[in-house]
């Protein structure tokens, strides 16, 4: 059987890793796929650099549309990134009858519904294992490995940059700015880290996992997103003393009224395996009815880990490209006509527990007033910790952990507490996820 020819759009970090791993492991991949898979054409604006990577045996051009127009190319791998030209090229490749592999989570989170529908109409596949959690095969697990299950929730550390920063803040006692600078120096954070530290990258990924887990359309615009830029080292220390660690989590959960879809820092019990994921590593927990809790851990970024996922998609397509399109695994796990319009809940309607840190006057009656406001707001207290005030000081920190409550109730209670004359600074409020 002739090798399947692949065209690569973009040969940066992931593209070069894909070429190197595919070349190095060609024989092993051939044995698994049943045929050879060869990158025979590459498009990149830096033609000279691309030729240095791929050598003389691969055609290199500076126009991605030349790759799409080549009738010999069966699969187009899009590694350009972003929403703009990448969307145009992916849709053009689909229209030309090419299968597509992409690591572009931003593109799929924003335009996935359009892209998957175009692929369905044309009878081609769009594979995107590399778009979520790098080398961790979480998309395949959700789409295929857990297909017998009713998935209840997913919680993931799915951005290595923020996890590295939080690990540095905890281990070294650094504030956010110093930890970010370390991450940039070591290459874990971009010069402009906004998408990472503001939670947008994680939101792209949890949006895709939510669609696959619950059989709903891709709805990135409905996700609630908070980053880690406002986190204080004092709260990381307090969490540690209480037996928790703070992680930036992507969470999606099935509720009776709809689907929760949110990204934010959260306290996680230190005894949970996911709480002990450190540095730039990623991990995803999935709770399902039949199998229970499963955990997927590994490198969420990097040249060869992400290339591993890209090539796994290439092998899948090589195995299935001659199959009847109706018998392939659907892009979002559920048959396209069986996707539900289940609403994504606004953050005010989600349920979670909370950690509160209040700077208060050290005098009688303060705790009673605060607990009264919480009780009136139907917020149940789990634990209270009051730090002893330093000698000569007239104020102290009050730490409160709550049981699960509706977000809207907590917001209203926080507004009332903040107005108390004995509350001397903005209240720190973080969500707490037991992940039990």
- Residue of 77, 78, 64, 62 whose CA lies nearest to 4: 77
| Per-residue confidence band for 200, with pLDDT thresholds at 50, 70 and 90 | very high
Mean pLDDT, residues 245-274? 97
From CA 345, how far away is CA 216, in angstroms rounded? 13
DSSP-assigned letter for residue 427: P
From CA 306, how far away is CA 312, in angstroms rounded? 10
How many Cα atoms occupy the beta-carbon half-sphere of 77 within 13 Å?
38
pLDDT, residue 121, reads 95
pLDDT digits (tens, 9 = 90+) for 394-412: 899 999 999 999 999 999 9
DSSP E strands, 58-188: 59-61, 75-78, 99-102, 126-127, 151-157
pLDDT, residue 391, reads 65
Q: What angle do CA 257, 258, 259 make, to 5 degrees?
A: 145
pLDDT, residue 436, reads 87
pLDDT, residue 326, reads 79
Q: Are 182 and 167 in contact (CB under 8 A)?
A: no
pLDDT digits (tens, 9 = 90+) for 83-103: 889 999 999 999 999 999 999
Mean pLDDT, residues 41-61? 95
The side-by-side arrangement of strands in the sheet containing 126-127 is: 59-61, 37-43, 4-9, 75-78, 99-102, 126-127
Phi, psi of 229, rounded to the nearest 5 degrees: -65, -25
Domains and CATH numbers, the chain: 4-137+303-335 (3.40.50.720), 138-299 (3.30.360.10), 352-432 (3.30.70.260)
Q: Are 73 and 97 in contact (CB under 8 A)?
A: no
Q: Are 352 and 323 in contact (CB under 8 A)?
A: no
| Helix 13-24 × helix 303-320 angle, to 10° | 60
How far is residue 42 from each of residues 2, 9, 24, 146, 161, measured CA to CA in Å?
20, 6, 18, 35, 29
Give me the residues paired with residue 259 across strands. Answer: 254, 344
Phi, psi of 38, rounded to the nearest 5 degrees: -130, 135
Mean pLDDT, residues 242-262? 97
Terminal CA-to-CA distance of the chain, rounded, Å? Answer: 50
pLDDT digits (tens, 9 = 90+) for 286-317: 999 999 999 999 999 889 999 999 999 999 99
The per-residue pLDDT of the chain, averaged, comes to: 95
Work out whether the CA dihedral 113, 118, 123, 126 comes out positive or negative: negative
DSSP class per residue in 391-425: TT--EEEEEEEE-SEEHHHHHHHHHHHHTSTTB-S
Between 436 and 360, the higher pLDDT residue: 360
- Residue of 138, 70, 129, 127 whose CA lies nearest to 320: 127
pLDDT digits (tens, 9 = 90+) for 255-268: 999 999 999 999 99
Which pairing describes strands 75-78 and 99-102: parallel, antiparallel, or unpaired? parallel
From CA 291, how far away is CA 142, in angstroms rounded? 12
From CA 46, how far away is CA 60, in angstroms rounded? 10
From CA 218, how far away is CA 208, in angstroms rounded? 6
Buried b / exposed e over 21-56, threshold 16 CB at 10 Å, is bbeeeeeebbeebeebbbbbbbbbeeeeebbebbee
From CA 236, how far away is CA 226, in angstroms rounded? 17
pLDDT, residue 101, reads 98
From CA 260, how far away is CA 16, in angstroms rounded? 37
Helix (H), strand (E) at residue 7: strand 4-9
- Residue of 267, 219, 273 whose CA lies nearest to 432: 267
Q: Is the pLDDT of residue 339 over 90?
A: no
**Per mean pLDDT, which range of 17-31, 39-53, 284-298, 379-393 is the poorest?**
379-393
pLDDT, residue 327, reads 80
pLDDT, residue 348, reads 97
Buried b / exposed e over 135-150, threshold 16 CB at 10 Å, is bbbbbbbbbeebeebe
Give me the residues paired with residue 295 across strands. Answer: 285
**Other CB atoms within 10 Å distance of the CB of residue 326:** 9
| Per-residue confidence band for 118, with pLDDT thresholds at 50, 70 and 90 | very high
Extract the tokens encoding 215. Answer: 């059989």
Q: What angle do CA 159, 165, 166 make, to 5 degrees?
A: 90
pLDDT, residue 388, reads 73
Catalytic residues: 205
Mean pLDDT, residues 267-286? 97
How far is residue 339 from each of residues 56, 181, 212, 273, measured CA to CA in Å?
46, 43, 10, 33
């Amino acid at each position: 059987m002739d090798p399947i020819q692949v065209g690569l759009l973009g040969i940066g970090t992931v593209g070069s890793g894909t070429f190197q791993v595919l070349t190095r492991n060609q024989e092993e991949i051939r044995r698994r796929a049943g045929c050879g898979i060869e990158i025979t054409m590459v498009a990149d604006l830096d033609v000279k650099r691309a030729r240095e990577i791929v050598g003389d045996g691969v055609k290199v051009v500076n126009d991605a549309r030349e790759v799409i127009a080549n009738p010999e190319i069966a699969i187009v791998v899009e590694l350009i990134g972003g929403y703009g030209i990448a969307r145009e090229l992916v849709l053009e490749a689909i229209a030309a009858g090419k299968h597509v592999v992409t690591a572009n989570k931003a593109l799929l989170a924003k335009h996935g519904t359009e892209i998957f529908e175009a692929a369905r109409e044309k009878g081609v596949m769009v594979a995107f294992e590399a778009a979520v959690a790098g080398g961790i095969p979480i998309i395949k697990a959700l789409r295929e490995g857990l297909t017998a299950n009713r998935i209840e929730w997913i919680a993931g550390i799915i951005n290595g940059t923020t996890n590295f920063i939080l690990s540095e803040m905890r281990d070294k006692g650094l504030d956010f700015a110093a930890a970010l600078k370390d991450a940039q120096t070591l290459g874990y954070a971009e010069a402009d880290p906004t998408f990472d530290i503001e939670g947008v990258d994680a939101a792209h990924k949890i949006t895709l996992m939510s669609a696959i887990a619950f059989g709903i359309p891709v709805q990135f615009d409905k996700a609630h997103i908070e980053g880690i830029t406002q986190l204080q080292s004092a709260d990381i220390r307090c969490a540690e003393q209480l037996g928790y660690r703070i992680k930036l989590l992507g969470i999606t959960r099935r509720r009776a009224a709809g689907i929760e879809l949110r990204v934010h820092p959260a306290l996680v019990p230190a005894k949970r395996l996911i709480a002990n994921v450190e540095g730039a590593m990623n991990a995803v927990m999935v709770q399902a009815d039949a199998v229970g809790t499963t955990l997927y851990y590994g490198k969420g970024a990097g040249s060869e880990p992400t290339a591993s996922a890209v090539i796994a998609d290439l092998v899948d397509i090589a195995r299935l490209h001659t199959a009847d399109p109706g018998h392939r695994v659907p892009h979002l796990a559920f048959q396209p006509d069986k996707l539900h319009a289940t609403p994504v809940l606004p953050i005010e309607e989600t349920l979670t527990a909370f950690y509160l840190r209040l700077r208060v006057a050290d005098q009688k009656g303060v705790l009673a007033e605060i607990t009264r406001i919480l009780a009136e707001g139907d917020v149940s207290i789990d634990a209270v910790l009051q730090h002893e005030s330093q000698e000569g000081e007239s104020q102290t920190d009050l730490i409160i952990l709550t049981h699960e409550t509706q977000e809207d109730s907590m917001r209203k209670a926080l507004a009332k507490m903040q107005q108390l004359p004995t509350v001397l600074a903005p209240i720190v409020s973080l969500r707490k996820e037991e992940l039990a």
